[in-house]
Structure 1
Amino acid sequence: MSNEQEAWHQYWQQGNQQSCVASSSEQALVEQLWLDWQASLPSQAKVLDLATGNGAVISSLLKASYSVDNQYIGVDYTSADNTPVSNKTNVSFVGGVDLAKLPQDTQSMDAVTSQFGFEYAAIDKTISQVVRVLKNTGQLQFIVHHSEGEIVRANRLRYREIEFLLAPEAPLEKAKHLVDQKISIDELEAAGQAYLRLHQGNLTASISGQVFETINQVVLAVNSGRYQQAKALNGSLLGKLSAEYTRLNQLIKVAKDERQIIEIVDKFKALGVSCRYQSILTNDSLTFAWLIDGVKNDKP
């Protein structure tokens, strides 16, 4: 498993069902987009959800009363914890799936979906696979990261703060030196104060605050002579931060601008899919994400 895949594996294992949808209003917005779209599908539809994660899209689609007649298949490269919806008899999940090599039969799906997942794949090959598995008149809907959207903006700030924390002279590295008995607690304290002064106004309680709390636990363990516990605490924190740093770096890189979205839409059109795109706006009229939807032509 690559570093990127391991980062997402850790993310889903922590019980995160929604990838990047932070607020309840955003969740309601996204959920309604899925329900409105699903209403146009044929009865007893077979729906394939790409890069399903913990099944956020399927969870939204299941809220329609008629969803009991549909069949939902979620595929992902990672083996995620799909507990929220995996107990449904009409839902199945398949791990270890490369979106560029979908295992589904040709023209076997009535619909293909993705929420912040399609853009992480090999785009050209995945588009070909989506068109292949769709039945004629089959539908697709993808929600894709917007390079200037609120999700990417917020995560750029998170990424930057974690980058501060992973720097060689930052408190996290200094805490490791403390555990290895290379520096004193006073030197660690000085590094912490220097970090706070240097990045004043750019730090959050949810990231730097939690890191400092864990470092405090490391110090307490060292003071009590529990060096193995201190090492485990610091190592676990470093691993989690490194994984989140990798995940956010990947998210920022795959976010699409309008030119890139047009290229994706044109590629679908070239393969016989009537396709369009639009920006999704929040209730406050802020840019949230891209929405791509399309219908595979009956006769390409």
Structure 2
Amino acid sequence: MSNYWSQYWQQGHLTSFGEDIKGNYSGPLKQVWQALFAPLNESHRVLDIATGNGALVSLLYDDNIQNSLPAVDAIDLAKLQIESSLLTRSETTKFHDHVNAEELPFTDDCFDLIVSQFGIEYANWNKTLVHVARCLKPGGKAQFVVHNSESTIVKPNSAILKMNIELAKKGGPIDTLKSLCQTLQKQGKGAPLAEKHRNKLNKIMNKLVQQDEYAFKATNFHLLARSCMQSISQIEQVSSLFSAFESERKGSVERLSDLINAAVDDKQKRKITQLIAVNGLKLELFDVVSNEQNLPLAWQIQLVKPLK
């Protein structure tokens, strides 16, 4: 995993995709966890795989009406930035960064519940399910909410990924904006060559807006163009703007590529179902979680480790 994910979590995001769910997971996503978390108390031990910034742990805390918190181990492969309120809420909750879900460093039969929300699918299912089966206690449960390739999360982010790639094509929006800035700095406003670049840039941007306004605005390229024009006389400032934008664009491309590749389609669903059985786990549920408009939001997977 690249440093882009560590940088992403350090910015305080709750989710692995474009827009955070305000205030934590809510609606249908929250509902799939509430019934599972309700019976938990201090006698239980929970593992949260690919915790991100601890959104599921926070939800578990918020829904624990017994005020009897289970022991929680929350792991992630990236460097984490956990809010102090989560770090200090319970002495039995431990966050571990740089831990690979494919090589869980825990003893056999030690967890009552293993969970993951938009995280476990980024790992290798073959390797991870071996450790899930090993670490679950007999009778223990696992629930994973994973990206669905047809979901209202994946499809818009796929469009944003394509738009970010389009921006960097040779002679495309970024190159044209750079040419415009360089010409304005050398020849000044109103120079024929500057107007040529400006007209080309406007034409390209209008075309991309017509193609997919949401995806285009999500790249923030229009904000880069505006900032460059406002700072055009400051050469170093304009250069810094381009550098910062390119760093964020590359990070977005990497994160969203990971998301698209991790999203589960029907073919992968069948493969995962087979792997669950191979590892001696019982599949109880593998179904679509839908939003309020009845559109696919994610897959919900529930497993049980049979009693010996």
TM-score by length of 1: 0.88
- Which residue is equivalent to 2:9? 12
Tell me if structure 2 keeps the 8 A contact 1:269–1:275.
Answer: yes
Tell me the CA shift for residue 264 of structure 1: 1.3
List runs of 5+ in structure 2 lacking aligned partners. Answer: 187-192
Q: Shift of residue 104 of structure 1? A: 1.5
The corresponding residue for 2:300 is 291
Match of 1:280 among 289, 294, 305: 289
Please tell me the residue identity of whatever aligns with 1:220: Q
Give, in angstroms, the shift of residue 40 of structure 1.
Answer: 4.5
Name the SS for the 1:75 alignment partner: strand
Q: Which runs of 5+ in 1 are unaligned?
A: none
Tell me what 1:66 maps to: 66
- After superposition, the Cα gap between the structure-2 partners of 1:42 and 1:87, relative to the gap in structure 1 and judged at 3 Å, is closer
Residue 253 of structure 1 aligns to a residue in which SS? helix
Give the Cα–Cα distance (whole angstroms) in 1 for the partners of residues 120 and 264 of structure 2. 11
Q: 1:287 and 1:171 mapped to 2: Cα distance?
A: 33
Contact persistence 1:115–1:144 (CA under 8 A): yes
Q: Which amino acid aligns with 2:13?
A: N
Structure 1 residue aligned with 2:77: 77
25-34 vs 247-256, which moves further: 25-34
Check whether the contact 1:26–1:282 (CA below 8 A) recurs between aligned residues: no
Whether the 8 Å contact between 2:29 and 2:289 is mirrored in structure 1 is no
Matches within 5 A, 1:197-276: 197-199=206-208, 200-204=210-214, 206-207=217-218, 210-222=220-232, 224=233, 226-276=234-284
Residue 51 (str. 1) matches residue 50 (str. 2)? yes
> Structure 1's 61 and 297: CA in aligned 2 closer, same or farther, altered over 3 A?
same
Distance (Å, rounded) in 1 between the aligned partners of 2:307 and 2:123: 26
Instruction: Give 1:291's aligned amino acid.
Output: Q
Alpha carbons 1:46, 1:71 under 8 Å: kept: yes
Contact (CA 8 Å) 1:185, 1:219: kept in 2 or not? no
TM-aligned CA deviation for residue 23 of structure 1: 5.3
CA gap of 1:272–1:232, structure 2 versus 1, over 3 A, is: same
> What displacement does 1:180 show?
5.9
Output the CA distance in 2 between the equivalents of 1:61 and 1:180. Answer: 53
> CA distance change for structure 1 residues 22 and 229 in 2, over 3 Å: closer, same or farther?
closer
Q: Distance in 1 between matches of 2:49 and 2:148?
A: 18
Paired residue total: 293
SS at match of 2:273: helix
- SS of the equivalent of 1:65 reads coil
- Identity over the aligned pairs, expressed in percent? 26
SS of 2:74 mapped into structure 1 = strand
Q: Deviations over 1:179-237 (max 9, x none)?
A: 666986434423321212432241237325x3222222223333x2x222211111101
* Distance in structure 1 (CA, Å) of the matches to 2:206 and 2:255: 27
* SS, match of residue 60 in structure 1: helix
CA distance in 2, matches of 1:27, 1:12: 20
